[in-house]
A and B are shown apart, each in its own frame.
Chain A
Amino acid sequence: MLVKNSIPSGSDAKIISESLWRIRLNLLQQAWKNNWQIFTEKKIGLVGLWIIGFFILLAISHPILMAYWSSQELPPEAMMGHNKSLADVYDPIRGLDLRPGKDMMPLSHPAAPSWRHPFGTDPMGRDVLSQIMYSARIEFLFGVFSALLSVFLATLVGAVSAYFGGKIDAFFMRLADLVLTLPFLPFLIFLSSLLTLDLFKLGLVLGLLGGFGGRTIVLKSQALSIKVRPYIEAAKIAGGSHWHIIFRHIIPNILPLSFFYLMLGVTSAVMSEATLSFLGLLQAPISWGLIMNFARSFGYSFYEAWWLYLIPGVTITLFCGSFYLVGRGLDTLVNPKLRKR
């Protein structure tokens, strides 16, 4: 069927003067600006964002510092061991500081925080600050990967099972129940005995568990409330396909909630990772949890080497807390009812 009568093109006053992509870009910009305004109303989200910014700074400054240290030759009198440059001292994995201190005696490790090692060293003589910085990069990649995967799955599965209902819905919901009732930590411990859990595998597992678990149920209930809106029916009556409706109407409307869960997802993924690392079940070069794990396995208690517990502990809390705070800040965006008039 053709268009029965198109509008007279005589009135050639072009209605849209700019190109469409430019208009859309502008709209997107405007939307970001508005959302940013709402987001910044609550200071809680901003605080979170500042902390995240600080961690990003940590993560990117480590390789830069490494490059700098590599160019710094150690003075010959300090070459007591095999060290050739400062980079070897501050290497988060292989570093060992054998340089003499003021009393011309080498540091005994673990060393308490000092000017040379602001966060101290671990039992193997490695600089804790470099370890914290180096791990930040890994934690970011790991947390965001796992959270993205879980939210992507949860959004899709939630939208699909809300839209189709019936058997598809029943299947995914029972699956979600199963995942929810799964004893989380014992399962991960069991898993680590089956295969060597590295960060990628753990991220995959956490992403899958999150994606088919509780978040799916929440996103599905949100999608259900969207599904009954008349614009869905209008699209259906106009002939829109199932996927058209899911991708064009349902998912864009649950996306703010997904974004909210993305933030919380990072928090929970990093927390699980820290727990597993601390228990020594994770195959990773270094991570915040591992710093504590080393301290423990070398037999140092909190009283003997407090910095090896306190500093990574505070770092994990800050990191997880910052994403959580951003999530709380997004709350107002997700829930227009919370906005101030």
Chain B
Amino acid sequence: MAETILEIDNLSLRYKTKKGDVKALNRVSFQLEKGLALGLVGESGCGKTTLANAILRLLPDNAEITGGHIYFDKEDLLLLAEQELREYRWKKISMIFQAAMNALAPVYRVGDQIIEAIQNHAPEFTYSAAKERVQRLFELVGLDCSRIDHYPHQYSGGMKQRAIIAMALACDPDLIIADEPTTALDVIVQDRILKRLNRVREELGMTMIYISHDIAVIAELSKVMGVMYAGELVEFGSTLSLFKQAIHPYTAGLMNSFPSIKGAKNQLSIIPGEPPNLLNPPAGCKFHPRCQYVTAQCRQVRPPLYRSPTEQQHFALCWHPLGANGKENDHE
């Protein structure tokens, strides 16, 4: 078995607000093997961005980690002092933020901004060495090298996103976390950037966490995927296994929520209701108010971990796992 690069163990996190505590993450656990791409899918407010930010501890002041561990290369990141954690950021773990392309400063050349980022994190680089590095990065992400001296306004949205990816790759990180990197882009540009990102990842043998609300993107890009709902990781496993037999009713519903451009036109399945307010989440299984299989048990007790009979790594939090005990997966 391959080496585990990242292990999240029982991580809980809350945001303190005036109205009360928002339980943004609740006992999230998973392991990620080196060199794999993990897709995290979920709706807004499900905690996927919080999880990503928690790994690098890029959290707002009112966030408080209430329990658990984050192991990166066997080192517990939560025990590190801020100063020590800096060594990890960018160099070992880097992040592509949501709408990061708008974060390029308009008055500096794009190349210089990346060079500055490199020198900030790796002072041993001279200006010319850093510039050479930027040239290689630009080639890697498919940007013309003449673009290094251009200003952000001369870039299109897709090109800016490529520059941001180049910046994230600058220090050869082991793990890249990409938080909705293509959300604001058009289909064709999105497709090209994702393909490029995936190729770069494979070439450099990096591990990647890919966060998206679009299950189709996750299906294409990632080997393993996790489904988050209301601050919990409700299902986790290999993408193939999840698509073959989703265990959690939410996952199954999500998969049938997307109309497809290919194949037969299926009726979409509606998940009724709305995601809960995390100020006051439901007891027991967080999904129970919207679930069609709900029983008294679901309403009271947090569901246990159910492991797929066919794949040990595939698990879900559910009292009534689909596909178990001969139950038909009627979402299919």
Contact = CB atoms under 8 A, between A and B. Distances in A.
A277 B17 CA distance: 51
Nearest to A41: B18
A340 interface: yes
Nearest to B15: A341
A194 to B, nearest CB: 51
Contacts of B18: 340-341
B312 interface: no
Nearest to B62: A341
Contacts of A341: 17-18, 62
Interface string B53-71: 0000000001000000000
Interface string B1-45: 000000000000000011000000000000000000000000000
A341 B22 CA distance: 12
Contacts of A340: 18
B38 to A, nearest CB: 30
Nearest to A339: B18
A340 B17 CA distance: 9
B20 to A, nearest CB: 11
Interface in A199-243: none
Secondary structure call for the A interface: loop
**Contact residues on A (Cβ < 8 Å of other chain), bracket:** under 10
B67 to A, nearest CB: 23
Interface string B161-175: 000000000000000
Contacts, number: 4
A341 B17 CA distance: 6
B78 to A, nearest CB: 24
A341 B20 CA distance: 10
A340 B18 CA distance: 8
Contacts of B17: 341
Nearest to B16: A341
Interface string A321-341: 000000000000000000011
A341 B18 CA distance: 6
A88 to B, nearest CB: 57
Nearest to A340: B18
A113 B17 CA distance: 52
A334 to B, nearest CB: 20
A340 B60 CA distance: 13
Nearest to A341: B17
Contacts of B62: 341
Interface in A63-90: none
A163 to B, nearest CB: 30
A340 B19 CA distance: 11
B61 to A, nearest CB: 10
B124 to A, nearest CB: 41
Nearest to B19: A341
A102 B212 CA distance: 88
A341 B21 CA distance: 11
A78 B273 CA distance: 85
Interface string A141-184: 00000000000000000000000000000000000000000000
A339 to B, nearest CB: 10
B32 to A, nearest CB: 32
A232 B62 CA distance: 37
B62 to A, nearest CB: 7
B315 to A, nearest CB: 34
B23 to A, nearest CB: 15
B25 to A, nearest CB: 18
A307 B17 CA distance: 50
Interface string A102-143: 000000000000000000000000000000000000000000
B59 to A, nearest CB: 14
A187 B18 CA distance: 51
A237 B109 CA distance: 44
B250 to A, nearest CB: 28
B104 to A, nearest CB: 23
Interface in A7-43: none
A161 B304 CA distance: 63
Interface string A275-312: 00000000000000000000000000000000000000
A341 B62 CA distance: 10
B21 to A, nearest CB: 12
A291 to B, nearest CB: 47
A234 to B, nearest CB: 24
A340 B62 CA distance: 11
4 contacts: A340-B18, A341-B17, A341-B18, A341-B62
Q: Which 3 A-B pairs have the closest CB atoms?
A: A341-B17, A340-B18, A341-B18
Interface of B: 17-18, 62
